[in-house]
Amino acid sequence: MPEAQFEIYKDTAGEYRFRLRAPNGEIISVSEGYTSKDGCKNGIASVRENAPKAIIQDLTGE
């Protein structure tokens, strides 16, 4: 079974972005644009570090 993966790519404005792709190939998250590849990699590191600790906050008011 394939693993989830982060993909780094350049958008049409030339900025670096990453997307998180689930094992089934579906894109489940897309980042903001970064001016450098290192900044993009730091964004991935932040998601990896902080996501397991993240709470869910429902702002819908429902």
Domain ranges of the chain: 5-51
Q: Please give the mean pLDDT across all residues of the chain.
A: 95
pLDDT at res. 1: 60
Q: What is the pLDDT of residues 23-34, one digit of tens each?
A: 999 999 999 999
Question: Which tokens belong to 38?
Answer: 């290192």
32's CB contacts (< 8 A; 6+ apart) are: 17, 43
Average pLDDT over residues 49-59: 93
Q: Does domain 5-51 have CATH number 3.40.640.10?
A: no
pTM, to two decimals: 0.85
Separation CA 25–CA 46 (nearest Å):
22
Rounded CA-CA distance 28/10 in Å is 18
